[in-house]
Amino acid sequence: MHGAGDRSNEKPGQDEYKLSEDARIAGFSIYPDELASITCGHDIQALKMHGGIHGILRKVSVSLDEGVKDSNIPIRQNVYGLNRYTEKPPGTFFMFVWEALQDLTLIILMVCAVVSIGVGIATEGWPKGMDDGVGILISIVLVVVVTAISDYRQALQFKDLDREKKKIFVQVTRDKKRQKVSIYDLVVGDIVHLSIGDQVPADGFFISGYSLLIDESSLSGESEPVNVYEEKPFLLSGTKVQDGSGIMLVTTVGMRTKWGKLMTALSEEEEDETPLQVKLNGVAIIIGKIGLTFAVLTFSVLAVRFLVEKILNNEITDWSSTDAVILLNYFAIAVTIIVVAVPEGLLLAATLSLAFAMKKLMNDRALVRHLSACETMGSASCICTDKTGTLTTNHMVVNKIWICGKPLDVKGNESKEILSSEISGASSILLQVIFQNTSSEVVMEDGKTSILGTPTELALLEFGLLLGGDFDAVRREVNIHKVEPFNFVRKKMSVLVDHPHGGKRAFCKGASEIVLRMCNKFIDFNGESVILSLEQVKNITDVINSFASEALRTLCLAFKNIDDSSIENEIPDDGYTLIAVVGIKDPVRPGVKDAVQTCLAAGITVRMVTGDNLNTAKAIAKECGILTEDGLAIEGQEFHNMSPEQKKAVIPRIQVMAQSLPLDKHTLVKTLRDEFGEVVAVTGDGTNDAPALHEADIGLAMGIAGTEVAKESADVIILDDNFKTIVNVARWGRSVYVNIQKFVQFQLTVNVVALIINFVSACVSGSAPLTAVQLLWVNMIMDPLGALALATEPPNDGLMKRPPVGRDSSFITKAMWRNIIGQSIYQLIVLGVLNFYGKQLLGLSGSDATEVLDTVIFNAFVFCQVFNEINSRDIEKKNIFVGMFDSRVFLGVVVCTVAFQVIIVEFLGAFASTVPLSWQLWLLCILLGSVSMLVAVVLKNPCRRFRFVANLDKGSEADKKRC
């Protein structure tokens, strides 16, 4: 046996693994790496050499009943490590600055700026020669800083969200109490309780349990689950409990686990681009190519005109540094046109809008695990929802019970005495089936009773305590031989225990239709077992249906005495005696009915898919407003038996699917997506829901009732398990889509105008009215500031009054093209008139007339963009001021843009090639920009004047009057 003394011959390099004196005093006598090698290597021989599980328990100084003591957790963490994995360190702000500087166009501009400074100083001297170059450098610094700040803040947001995502808790025994702790607080020696759907939180050994089936596919890639039992006790971190239950001893944590070692070989998973981001990438590439073409043409036209002028002036052989500066400025203008044309702001807007929505949804109790889900949810046309915990409160209580041949109402403490007298003959066996056939526990903390377990078992245990039962006393009465935990195929839970009077006794509870078929007797008023006649079966079935019609979930409780000693540990499937039929109420959550109505108004079909009884499901669906008169409620078995053609025919009408299996839910979701082109959102909380969650466009897992398997398969985790939160996710998803559309409309307008005005002016007059520095400032307005203003607008109620966006719908709509083209024409007319006739119209003369006109053109262009930003707040509506003054971000961006424009024009003329303007010219620029709002009203006018005039005879009197 390997003990502490066997390590005297260790090499000096292994000193770090030796146990300290404090560890020895604490009673530890096995090394962390030795424990890790036994578990990871499945070394059963080494485990036996250490005395098996009980030997390991002694060596890590843990009592099975008491668990780890809180007082010695620090030393365990010091000796055996923390249950945390080494993560990629977060990027610093300067790293994001460096990444922003890698942009090719910015590098070209920096080269241009340096050359411009060198040539300028050589020709014009210090410091005047530096003006153009320094102006470009300042603009580059602004672009880089704003981009880096945006990226850095986004990275911090995702870090916060990732921290929330990792809040996973497990049940452990510590200081003789069963309690919940974070998996990151686990230590070697912890006694962990595992049930279906749990993630194994660390490496360790199986101590005891029933039918424990582990899915190791996350580590091994093998889809076949592994049975874990005494002879094969190894449990590995990151695997999932597929069936059964068990108790494990934690032996290895953190980076020493097999999962931890795997993590060191992998880089941190990066977020995939969303479908919308892929679309926007395509748009950006096309616009970038157009910008490159315009830039080459602009430079070519300016350069050719310059050469032609030199030829005409017989100066073709006379070159000076001034000529080089002119050509360099032409090149800088061309490069800047590319910078302006390439709409990198599209992806910035998408990322910013999604991150903003994710942060807001976090506050609204929804954790978005995948960026694409937030966007896709905005296009959802169908939601397949669970009932329990999603539409209902997930706090079940026993509302009615049929026992001793008659139904009784249960109304809390006020009905305690009545119940006790009515069921006195069967109370003992009833408490036994409730307390002995359960995987939950009743624990006392600070004088308060709390129940750890599922909502259904919580309701039963609360009912047992209401009847005056003593959980610990009833549990101590018997020795449990075998447990068959509840799963979604059996739909029942069974347990085999010692009978107090010899032999064995089996208890069973589960779905009424299943357990009732297993019974041939029932308990009468005197507590005697009597034969269950066909008439009595019919009466009990009627009771079950009446309970279900009142939206009660029904369970049958039964037992069977086994006298045959030849039957070892087999739990029978028939011959039971029915004790009671329990009706459990799970009230509908407040606000769910309104949320369902909101979905229907938004063109989103809501379908309930549940494992509950058909009558119960129909009652809840009607109460929520899901099941309508022309809707169809169907059982999963009936749906399963249909042919593909039949399924295709009935699916559009299905509003409720009851008693469904995981395969039925998966089939429904797949058919809706593949055959009907629906964008499907699916809610789920169990391990069995994982296939459907994975198949759906958006998987929504329940954060409270959901298993770790369900959460891992989902795109969004609903932290409060509330259907209202799901509707909120859809609202924010639509907001993301619309906000990015607003930004695209705004940016494309600026792109079109900037490209065309500079190109036309270069071709006609030989100079571009907008300089490189000015275009860089416009680029700042378009990209980070425009994205910040338009992409972070909160959703409005109108978003849920329109149909969802189709899967194949065009991103740039006809209304957007109308607004882009209309605004571009107006701005080009204004800037073109100013460029070619501005001096005459404004009465400008003198040596600075050209500089003043260019400043007016630049100023008018910027103010057109400021007001166009306001116009873009709503693509369809004429009144674009609704909610504007409630958006601090939007108002802040507009105010900052105007303030910076004043500073640039009035005080930074040396860098931006501007001159101070009179108040009359400032007013003119503001008026020219504000007229774009009138243009927007005309463009959005629902009265189609031209169409009406063209079809005058077809127009109604109301149309004529309106127009």
Give catalytic status of residue 386 as yes or no. yes
Q: Which of 437, 577, 429, 460 is nearest to 515 (CA)?
A: 577
* DSSP code, position 801: G
Give the position of tokens 């429904």.
668
Cα separation, 923 vs 801, whole angstroms:
40
Cα separation, 73 vs 75, whole angstroms:
6
Cα separation, 204 vs 183, whole angstroms:
13
* DSSP code, position 342: S
Catalytic residue among 198, 203, 243, 386: 386
**CA trace torsion 303, 307, 309, 314 (10° rounding):** 160
Q: Are 697 and 715 in contact (CB under 8 A)?
A: no
Q: Are 467 and 408 in contact (CB under 8 A)?
A: no
Cα separation, 854 vs 869, whole angstroms:
23
CB contact set of 816 (below 8 Å; sequence gap of 6+): 741, 744, 745, 875
Cα separation, 645 vs 664, whole angstroms:
15
CB contact set of 463 (below 8 Å; sequence gap of 6+): 397, 398, 401, 410, 434, 582
Cα separation, 458 vs 706, whole angstroms:
16
Cα separation, 939 vs 822, whole angstroms:
7
Sort strands 605-609 and 382-385 into parallel, antiparallel or unpaired. parallel
Q: Which of 245, 385, 370, 274 is nearest to 683 (CA)?
A: 385
127 upstream amide cis, omega within 30 of 0: yes
Cα separation, 744 vs 16, whole angstroms:
59
Beta strands in 54-149 (DSSP E): none
**CA trace torsion 949, 955, 961, 963 (10° rounding):** -40
* Catalytic residue annotation: 386
